[in-house]
Structures are given as C-alpha cells and as structure tokens.
Structure 1
Amino acid sequence: MSVQQLIATDKAFNDMAQKEGTGKAFIAYSAEDPVMIRPGSMPLLGRTAFVESFSQVKGSALSWEPLKAEIAASQDLGYTFGRYTLREDGAIKAHGVYVSIWKKQSDGSWKFVLDGGGTTPEQVAIP
C-alpha cells in the first residue's frame, strides 16, 4: 500500500460525502470500533454511538482534502492530515484541519479508527 493509495482512499471518502451525504460516508468509511474526537463535545466512542450520531446527518455541508499521509512500516496503520471547509446554506461557515488514523481491514480496504479536527481562522495553505 502506497501513501498515494491512502490519500486516494481519503479522497474517495470525501467524494462519497459530496454525492451521498456526509453521514452515510462517515458510517461507510469507519472501522467497527471508531473514535471521533469533537471539539467542545464528548468523543463518539464505538460503532453504536457513531451510527446513531451520523445517521442523523443529512446533506454534505462538510468537504475535505488530504494534504499529507504516512503509512507505518507494518503496512497496517496510517494517517491522513488535511483541511476541511464547512458550509451552511452554501456559504462558508468554517475552515479547519483534521487527522484520520486508518487501519487496514482483513479484506485489504482501509477504514478509519480515529478521526478528529479543529477550526482554523482561515483556510490552511497547501504545504
């Protein structure tokens, strides 16, 4: 697995969010026991809480772009780091950064096991 393939997975995750909705994409790309760290809120811990929360999310107000990725020498863990934009009624509401920790699944696909991020005063420039 190359870094480019992990970045492609993160981009496909965003593409699904734009086409089918953020909630559906987050459920589809999360591992069986995901953790989501949310600023100002308790983290989402485990599949049940994750599905309950994201099943209520409609539309695709969140879009993101991976800027960097690395994969462990073991080839079973990796991370992507990137920037996101949150829109409300088409207008930009916030910019931010995120990190997703990905774990290779038994079928060879990658699912994230931990995701988190925070807002930034403006859009982060591509390094």
Structure 2
Amino acid sequence: MASIFSFPNHCLKEMMLMASLLLGGIASAQHDEVARAEQAFANKAIEQGMKRAFLENLHPKGVIFDEGRILNGISIWEKTPESNAKLYWKPWYTGLSKSGDLGFSTGPYEIRIPGRDSAVAAGSYNSIWVRDGEKEWKVMVDLGIRYSPSLFGTSLENKDWPKGPLLTGKTGQHDGWQEAEKAFLDAYVSQGSKGIGQFIGQQTWFCIDGRHPALGAEQSRAVLPTIPDQLDFEPVDGGMAQAGDLCYVYGNVHYNGRTNNFLKVWQYGDKGWVLVLLVLQW
C-alpha cells in the first residue's frame, strides 16, 4: 500500500469509496483518518472554544507561527485568554504516510465574531499531524495564510482541481527531511523560482500568503513567477514518516529585512521527492 492523499468532502464520499474499491479495495476510512482528526479538532473549537481545542490537540512540542517567530503552541495557548470569536475550518486536502505515523491537512478557515455579518479574517490553515504508535493524532505544526475573499463556503466539486486519493508513494531509506530540503535549496539558489518547478507534481498545492491556494500542477506552475528569486530559506526543523514516503520541513524566510515562515510537505515516489504542499510567506 502506498501513501494516501484525499480531498475530503461530504459530496465526494461516494466517489472516494468507489475510487478506493477500484484501487485495491483500500478502505475509505483509512483515506480519511487525518481528515477525521482535523474535523474533530475543528468541531471542538466551535463547541468548546478555541483555547481548549488547541490545548487538547497540539503536540507538546508542536509549533505555531507569529510574524516570523516560531513558538511552542501549548505555551502560547495556555497564556491566551478565552474569546467569543469563533474559528471555523474544514479539511480539503489530507495525506497519510504508509506507516500511519505522519500526515498533513490543509483547507479554508474563517474567523467570525458574534454580531458581525461577515468574517473578520479568512485564509487557509496548514497542519502537520503525528502519531506515536497507537496513540492519538496530535498537531506538530500549524501555519496559516490569509487571503480574501473567503473560500470557506466554496464547494470542491465546482472547482477544477485534483480530487480523490493519490496512491503513488513508495517507501525508501533517506537521509531524513534534510535530503529533500537540500535538493530544493540547491535548485532555488541556482535557478530562482523556476527551479521549484522540477518538484511540482499533479497533486501539488501552493498556499502563498495573500493569494488563494494554487491547486494542482498547472496552477502551481502559474504562480512561480510571483515568487521572488531572492528569498533566503532557513530550515529550522522537520520530520519523516517511518516508512520514508512522507516528510515535512518548516523554517524562516528572510526577504527585504523581514522574517516570515514556510512549510513544505514532501512525498517520495518513482521520480524522487515531490512537493505535495508548499506554504510560503515573505
């Protein structure tokens, strides 16, 4: 069985079940494992408040980001006062390693305040989920981007982007997430944003701050010219699935005297490392 990527949506359940049966009888529930954890997290935030939801779902070593700073999520949320604001989000695109210990999730979010007719902020969240053995899933990385207008009410089936599980990953022995990151940095330093193109696949999503997500190879390639050639990427940490088919890396982006952040999720396949998710601020 290979790495599993899915685009969860209530309207797509039948299609995903059919796809799973066609692709070797893989259970649709397994495709949605990360999506279920993400949706349960989102539901708790609405029902019991953001603070409690984040404290219960963040990994003890999990990180969040604030204007270029990388912070321990638990420490920040313990100090955060309760709020009447509501954070709504839902998973659109999720992935799960073959070993079942590493996954990712991305989708739209909105922040709403009672008494206001429209959202006060909107964008896409991007999460890395980890699991130790048979224990619960926990969020290790949480990096969001902002854009307008909101996509929270958008229906997946009305858009021209990849749908269904991606079953092309392969296991392997690697030198950790540093291997994928070195290849990326070498290409970017020598070729600028054009060098990123060699890592784009059919299931690549680009989440760039200030823009709606670019979904799939065609849209991702189209936004490459908007990425400056002078970004200074500073990897900070990352992780890899035990199966060696999925890894992530996050860090800082320095540009024009400012520091922001990035997150990359990589899948290993027949052609080597391919980006499945790039989150970028500068």
TM-score range, shorter chain: 0.7 to 0.9
Q: Which consecutive unaligned segments of at least 5 residues does structure 2 have?
A: 1-28, 160-282
TM-score, normalised via structure 1 length: 0.85
**In 2, distance between residues paired with 1:90 and 1:18?**
16
Contact 2:84 2:114 in 1 (8 A): no
Partner of 2:87: 62
Partner of 1:101: 128
Partner of 1:78: 103
1:55-81 Cα distance to aligned partner (Å, 9 max, x none):
x23335211011010012221000000
Contact 2:101 2:133 in 1 (8 A): no
Count of residue pairs the alignment pairs up: 124
**In 2, distance between residues paired with 1:90 and 1:13?**
24
Q: Report the structure, 1 or 2, having the larger strand content.
A: 1
TM-score, normalised via structure 2 length: 0.41
CA spacing shift, 1:96–1:90, aligned 2, 3 Å: farther
**In 2, distance between residues paired with 1:110 and 1:90?**
34
Partner of 1:34: 62
1:34-73 Cα distance to aligned partner (Å, 9 max, x none):
10123x36232264x234334x233352110110100122
Match of 1:52 among 49, 71, 78: 78
**In 2, distance between residues paired with 1:88 and 1:110?**
29
Question: What secondary structure is seen at the aligned counterpart in 2 of 1:57?
Answer: coil
**In 1, distance between residues paired with 2:60 and 2:133?**
12
Contact 2:85 2:113 in 1 (8 A): no
Match of 1:5 among 25, 33, 38: 33
**In 2, distance between residues paired with 1:93 and 1:117?**
15
- Higher relative CO (Cα under 8 Å, sequence separation at least 6) belongs to 1
CA spacing shift, 1:104–1:90, aligned 2, 3 Å: farther
Q: What percentage of residue pairs aligned between the two structures are identical?
A: 25
Partner of 1:117: 144
Contact 1:34 1:50 in 2 (8 A): no
Q: Which consecutive unaligned segments of at least 5 residues does structure 1 have?
A: none
1:74-127 Cα distance to aligned partner (Å, 9 max, x none):
210000001100112343111100110000134431000010101111123435
Question: What secondary structure is seen at the aligned counterpart in 2 of 1:2?
Answer: helix
Contact 1:85 1:94 in 2 (8 A): yes
Deviation at 1:9, TM superposition (A): 0.9
